Amino acid sequence: MPETIRVAAIDDHPMMRDSIIRALLTDNRVEIVGQGNTADCAIEIAQTKSPHIMILDIGMLGDGLNAAREINQHWPDIRLIILTVSACRKNIQAALDANARGYIFKGIGGQELIQAVRLVHEGKRYFSPELVSIVLEQRESDSLHQLTEREIEFVDLIAAGLTNKEIGEKFELTEKTVRQYMTTVYRKLGVRNRVQAAMALNTHRGKA
């Protein structure tokens, strides 16, 4: 039989919390192991109930993001889904920094909520469709900020059509060293080749 998914729901609005729980219990794989209305409740449940999944209201007393950070630090096996009414980029980034595996809007349909819980339990991520473009842009921006000035120079020269050998000659580096630089660039940007690296940089600049 499929593994039971142990879920805790933390929201400071009783009707919203009850609605979440009712929706989740329509899936016979789900077991509700805790519920509460504050960040302190979330932390206590994380410590005492060890849920697989915790759904956290971002705006509850004590701050859902603070609870997420605390839980991720001490109980990293608990997978967090942030519940919100806002598509605030700052909050999305804070949730990603706290290793949240999901970010969903209040008012989400019952079937979508169950899908989110199942996917996160499987080790995947789930973001409400309205948030996907924001999340992708944020990840892209974060990746680009990891590049050093030299790496950005290399990508600019690649976009201008220079080969690794020509770039090496410009900086008095071996072709092998340039390839090593570019391997690091590909890893940081999450791309596979020179063309994708140049496109990622140019796309970011176009949005700046």
Same fold, 5-134 and 146-207: no
Question: What's the fold here for domain 5-134?
Answer: Rossmann fold (3.40.50)
Q: Domain residues of the chain, as ranges?
A: 5-134, 146-207
Inter-residue contact 37 to 62 (CB < 8 Å): no
The set of residues, in sequence order, having a beta carbon less than 8 Å from that of 162 and lying 6+ positions away, is: 170
Q: Which amino acid is at 126?
A: Y
The string of DSSP codes covering 140-186 is HHHHHHTS-HHHHHHHHHHHTT--HHHHHHHHT--HHHHHHHHHHHH
Which of helix, strand or coil describes residue 31? Answer: strand
- pLDDT (tens, 9 = 90+) of the chain, 208 residues, equals 678 999 999 999 999 999 999 999 999 999 999 999 999 999 999 999 999 999 999 888 888 999 999 999 999 999 999 998 877 777 877 887 888 888 888 878 899 999 999 999 998 888 877 666 566 555 555 556 677 888 888 888 888 888 989 998 988 889 888 888 888 888 777 777 887 777 776 665 555 4
Rounded to two decimals, the pTM is 0.66
CATH of 146-207, one of 1.10.10.10, 3.30.70.1450, 3.20.20.80, 1.10.490.10: 1.10.10.10
22 phi, psi to nearest 5 deg: -60, -45
